[in-house]
Amino acid sequence: MIDTLDQEKCIACGTCVEVCPRDVFRLHVAETYSTITYREDCQTCYNCELECPASAIRVNPWRKPRPQAW
């Protein structure tokens, strides 16, 4: 699960929005930063952390299990 997105480091390039397969991020161009909008949808794929040119994103490798449907 995404641990942090450092808005001080974020350069609002939109890479996280483009590479996230689960649409977790939103880009706020006017404010020049991205936000984690749907943290619970993160699948811990690390695409955002690996591709962020500003190293502003950290992904936590631990993810709590989803509840099973009965």
Query: How is 26-62 classified by DSSP, letter by letter?
Result: EEETTTTEEEES-GGG-----HHHHH-TT--EEE-S-
Q: Per-10-residue mean pLDDT for the chain, 70 residues long?
A: 87 94 90 88 93 94 68
The β-bridge partners of 35 are: 26
Give the predicted TM-score (pTM) of the model. Answer: 0.80
Domains of the chain (ranges plus CATH)?
A: 2-59 (3.30.70.20)
| pLDDT on residue 3 | 83
| pLDDT on residue 21 | 95
Q: Is the dihedral of CA 2, 45, 35, 37 positive or negative?
A: negative
